[in-house]
Structure 1
Amino acid sequence: MTENNTNTITDGKYVELTYLVRDSTTGDVLTEVSRPLNYVHGVNEIMAPTITRELAGKTQGQRVDLLVDCTELYGPRDESLVVTEKVALVPREYRQVGTRILMENNLGEMKSFLVTKIEGDKITFDGNNPLCGREVIYQVKVLLVRDATADEKEYGGRVETDPATSPSG
């Protein structure tokens, strides 16, 4: 029995991972996902395709550090998505830097904006991905690699034990 084959990420393997994203210049942690994500390699992608490609051939327990140019992932910054308004025109609950707001454009499409600045009587919203224009390091920790079951391959990840139960509320 070759241990390598079972614990190596290849198509059809069930994978669990966690990751964090660091700014490559400052080293600051920008995002951290500590609750394991799962997927079936080659069936669905939970990470950007460039990252998923790099995970192929990695093994359980391995940490993978990937330098990623977010302009490639999210496209270049679009300054037309930066909007400045008078604070008085914005509902009080949105007047805090770091607040996310869903806004609708004139075509009825929803877009997420982040409050990035409040100066004097002006508030600025940015619809660009916060990582746009940055170079970051994805530090991916491969927690588990095993053969996926037929159900997992069909579903693309872990199948919940009782899909009939719906959350109450």
Structure 2
Amino acid sequence: MTETSTNTITDGKYVELTYLVRDSTTGDVLTEISRPLNYVHGVNEILAPIITRELVGKTQGQRVDLLVDCNALYGARDESLVVTEKVALVPREYRQVGTRILMENNLGQMKSFLVTKIEGDKITFDGNNPLCGREVIYQVKVLLVRDATDEEKAYGGKAEETPEG
């Protein structure tokens, strides 16, 4: 087996990567994951399938830039998931832009909402994924590719040591 095939992403390979997500229009960094994530390719996915598929055949040390329409990942923006309330009706701990809150609908289903705006006596929550309606660039840096151990294949990534007790 050559060194190239050992360090190439295929099913059964242990992969470590970092990534950042940029808005394709403004270039602003929306998300940055600088602590390496790990997974076993073909066993589990830590990124959306559309991105994971593009990593096949990439090698250790390579950077992959992928243009992604977030509507394909998260669906179209749904304005019915934008809720405005009087600030006085909202518990104090949720009165800050950027705060996440779980809300229950009339069917008993839980959904995560983000506080997006506070103006005057009104507060706005948005249940859409923050990337909905955007086109973004995923910049994925492949840090490590190697054969996964049997334990890693069973676990789907590095089996973390957990303290006993």
TM-score if structure 2 supplies the norm length? 0.96
Which residue of the partner structure matches residue 128 of structure 1? 128
Which residue of the partner structure matches residue 154 of structure 1? 154
Shift of 1:164: 6.2
Which residue of the partner structure matches residue 7 of structure 1? 7
Q: Structure 1 unaligned runs (5+)? A: none
Shift of 1:105: 1.5
Count residues with an aligned counterpart: 165
What is the root-mean-square deviation in Å for CA atoms of aligned residues?
Answer: 1.1
Distance (Å, rounded) in 1 between the aligned partners of 2:99 and 2:61: 36
Structural mapping, 1:48-87, within 5 Å? 48-87=48-87
Q: Does 1:43 align with 2:43?
A: yes
Distance (Å, rounded) in 2 between the aligned partners of 1:83 and 1:160: 40
Q: Structure 2 unaligned runs (5+)? A: none
Q: How far does the alpha carbon of each residue in 1:12-52 deviate from its partner, in whole angstroms, 9 at most, with x for none?
A: 00000000000000000000011111000011111000000
Q: How far does the alpha carbon of each residue in 1:126-149 deviate from its partner, in whole angstroms, 9 at most, with x for none?
A: 000000000000000000000000
Distance (Å, rounded) in 1 between the aligned partners of 2:14 and 2:149: 8
Q: Percent identity?
A: 88
Q: How far does the alpha carbon of each residue in 1:65-108 deviate from its partner, in whole angstroms, 9 at most, with x for none?
A: 00000000000011111000011101112111111111112222
Distance (Å, rounded) in 2 between the aligned partners of 1:20 and 1:53: 17
Distance (Å, rounded) in 1 between the aligned partners of 2:23 and 2:89: 34
TM-score if structure 1 supplies the norm length? 0.94
Which residue of the partner structure matches residue 116 of structure 1? 116
Distance (Å, rounded) in 2 between the aligned partners of 1:110 and 1:146: 39
Aligned partner of residue 58 in structure 2, secondary structure = coil
Distance (Å, rounded) in 2 between the aligned partners of 1:140 and 1:132: 20
